[in-house]
Amino acid sequence: MSRTPLIAGNWKMFKTGPEAVATAERLTDLTRDTQDVDIMIAPTFLSLPLVSERTRRGTVKTGAQNLFHEREGAYTGEVSAEMIRAAGADYVIVGHSERRLLFNETDQSINLKVKAALNAGLAPVLCVGESETEKDEKKTFSVLDKQVRNGLKGFRSEQLGSLVLAYEPVWAIGTGKTATPDQVNEVHRYIRALMEKLFDKTLANAVRILYGGSVKPENVSELMALEDVDGALVGGASLDADKFVRIINFKTER
Ligand code: PGA
């Protein structure tokens, strides 16, 4: 089964509106002729409508970095899936480890967010990954099992057609440490097998599983060559359009 690779940039809390637009426009120019790779950037909520508008005619799609699961209401400071969709986004990152760790997100709140995203027609990019301690205690697979199982609780396979999973070992995010290709493929294979166990073979074969954690032009082709790696979720190296495009063009990057 051939899955179209997805290269996604998570801009985190970087870039003002004008900075985000400038980077997005440069990226749009650089990727005008890109084929066979889906591209997504996730700016801050503030920049999302502007960036979506400026990238509309190109190959770059946009996403949000988070959402709140209610449609609307008295939830000061929150943004709903419908509002994100109306801002022009196609994707939303859900359950990033920074949100789990710094903002107390749980598998239960993440499950509600996945539901809200799908209801609004957004493709959720559900992030999972173990911490350094959990890795050292050999708990990687049990942690991933719990995060995937609980994050996707209550869905049927037919509802998850747009779902994207992202394996991001917490110890590899922003640290310059990447998991070895063998470690990455073993985990991705485990997640795909788990999706088959929880849902069915069709979904397991179709779902894209991205790798995230210190992905850069220098290591992307090795990672993308792995059978069960279908893309990358890129933080730091996505902030510069010229650098990010080298990741998008992973087929020619050595
Ligand atoms: P990084 O971040 O590429 O800077 O390690 C990845 C992420 O947090 O999604």
Please state the separation of Cα 250 from the chain's center in Å.
17
Mean pLDDT along residues 8-19: 98
Long-range contacts made by residues 132-141, C-beta under 8 angstroms, separation at least 24? 132/170, 132/171, 135/169, 135/171, 140/169, 140/187, 141/187, 141/190
- The response to whether residue 210 sits with its C-beta less than 6 Å from ligand 1 reads no
Q: Distance between CA 116 and CA 169 in Å, rounded?
A: 25
Please state the separation of Cα 68 from the chain's center in Å.
17
DSSP 171: G
Share of the chain above pLDDT 90, in %: 94
Instruction: Look at residue 189 and tell me if it is in a domain.
Output: yes
Tens digits of per-residue pLDDT, 60-101? 999 999 999 999 999 999 999 999 999 999 999 999 999 999
Tens digits of per-residue pLDDT, 113-124? 999 999 999 999
- Catalytically active residues, by annotation: 96, 168
In this structure, the residue with its CA closest to atom 9 of ligand 1 is: 235
* Mean per-residue pLDDT of the chain: 96
- The response to whether residue 179 sits with its C-beta less than 6 Å from ligand 1 reads no
Residue 131 has a pLDDT of: 95
DSSP-H helix ranges across 152-253: 181-198, 201-206, 217-224, 241-248
Instruction: Look at residue 1 and tell me if it is in a domain.
Output: no
First vs last Cα of the chain: how many Å apart? 25
**Other Cβ atoms closer than 10 A to 90:** 16
Residue 174 has a pLDDT of: 87
Q: In which domain, by residue range, is 185 found?
A: 6-248
Domain total of the chain: 1
Q: Report which secondary-structure segment, H or E, holds 146.
A: helix 140-151
Residue 178 has a pLDDT of: 81
Instruction: Look at residue 254 and tell me if it is in a domain.
Output: no
Residue 179 pLDDT greater than 90, yes or no: no
What tokens appear for 52 in the block? 């979506």
Nearest to 178 by CA among 147, 208, 218, 207: 218
The domain that holds 115 is classified in CATH as 3.20.20.70
What tokens appear for 154 in the block? 């209550």
Instruction: Look at residue 253 and tell me if it is in a domain.
Output: no
DSSP 67: -
Mean pLDDT along residues 240-248: 98
Tens digits of per-residue pLDDT, 129-176? 999 999 999 999 999 999 999 999 999 999 999 999 999 999 999 888
Instruction: Look at residue 124 and tell me if it is in a domain.
Output: yes
Instruction: Look at residue 185 and tell me if it is in a domain.
Output: yes
Instruction: Look at residue 30 and tell me if it is in a domain.
Output: yes
- The response to whether residue 215 sits with its C-beta less than 6 Å from ligand 1 reads yes
Q: Distance between CA 254 and CA 252 in Å, rounded?
A: 6
Q: Distance between CA 225 and CA 236 in Å, rounded?
A: 22
Residue 1 has a pLDDT of: 57
Q: Distance between CA 113 and CA 117 in Å, rounded?
A: 6
In this structure, the residue with its CA closest to atom 7 of ligand 1 is: 235
Residue 253 has a pLDDT of: 76
> Would the CA dihedral through 113, 119, 122, 123 be positive or negative?
positive
Residue 242 pLDDT greater than 90, yes or no: yes
- The response to whether residue 169 sits with its C-beta less than 6 Å from ligand 1 reads no
Residue 254 has a pLDDT of: 61
Nearest to 97 by CA among 157, 143, 50: 143
Gap from CA of 118 to ligand 1 centroid (Å): 24
Gap from CA of 91 to ligand 1 centroid (Å): 17
Residue 51 has a pLDDT of: 98
